[in-house]
Amino acid sequence: MDFHAALDADYARLVEVSSGSLDRPVPTCPGWTVADLDRHVAEVYLHKVACIREGVEPADWPPPQLAAEEPLALLRRAYRELTGELAARADDEPSGNWYAPDPTVGFWRRRMAQETVIHRIDAELAAGTPSVDVPDDLALDGIDEVLRIFLEYGAATWPEYFVDGLAEGGGRSVAVATGGRRWLVAIGPDVLTVTEGDAPAAAELTGSPDALLRWLWRRADDTTVTVTGDPTTVTTLRSLLHAATQ
């Protein structure tokens, strides 16, 4: 997976769509305009630059001086710094990180590609312009990331945000199947696990990799995927994803 190529393409699309749309509200990020979205992405990029350079996550973020920069100019500067830092580093170099199993530059290379594709979708929705499909390889990787890192790891590391959803799940599973892969999300009652395979599930979500990535990140509704089986378990998964990705 060429994460740099994906990052470059989606960053370019984000800038393209943002230009002339800075005052538009972002429907998938309530309370934000496109200017706020661009500023957020820029601050995320610069935060990762600091993580890589300093080896730890910065204690206070964002620095107040960033507020003085115009959003698109800040985004362009942040992208230059991020890509320059990533180009100069090997994947296995250490970096400050909230994900304890993989505190490396490679984690951020992947994460920033996935961060950017979701936010360029946000910008497209705000601008009312047709959305570019997410390539299958990037979408499949993004599905794996959101299920294993944001949902499974998040529920294990910060369980206080997931208690109610896990209890509602009662140990039932939701399968997410696309592109020749099938993830099984077993929900509760006390833990959440993600595996791959053909085991039975209480409900199954199917669709294109692009559609399922958008659904999992709450950038699309149930009409964009096919749901079979127990709808309440799917609703529980949706609620847990909200806790994991907000």
Distance CA 209, CA 137 (A): 8
Provide the sign of the torsion angle of the four alpha carbons 227, 231, 235, 241, taken in this order.
Answer: negative
Q: Which of 200, 184, 189 has the alpha carbon at shortest distance from 155?
A: 189
Distance CA 115, CA 134 (A): 13
The fold adopted by the segment(s) 139-245 is: Nonspecific Lipid-transfer Protein; Chain A (3.30.1050)
Distance CA 186, CA 96 (A): 30
Distance CA 185, CA 194 (A): 5
pTM of the model: 0.96
pLDDT digits 0-9 by tens, 98-133 = 999 999 999 999 999 999 999 999 999 999 999 999
pLDDT digits 0-9 by tens, 134-143 = 999 999 999 9
Beta bridge partners of 181: 178
Provide, for the chain, the percentages of residues in helix, strand and coil under a 3-state DSSP scheme, each rounded to the nearest 5: 55, 15, 30
Predicted confidence at residue 246, as pLDDT, reads 80
pLDDT digits 0-9 by tens, 163-181 = 999 999 999 999 999 999 9
pLDDT digits 0-9 by tens, 14-33 = 999 999 999 999 999 999 99
User: Residue 111 gets which letter from DSSP?
Assistant: H
Predicted confidence at residue 7, as pLDDT, reads 98
Distance CA 237, CA 217 (A): 11
Q: Look over the chain and give the mean of its residue pLDDT values, rounded to a whole number.
A: 97
pLDDT digits 0-9 by tens, 62-79 = 999 999 999 999 999 999
Distance CA 168, CA 154 (A): 17
Of all residues in the chain, what percent carry a pLDDT higher than 90? 98
Domain boundaries, the chain: 3-127, 139-245
**At 124, which amino acid appears?**
E
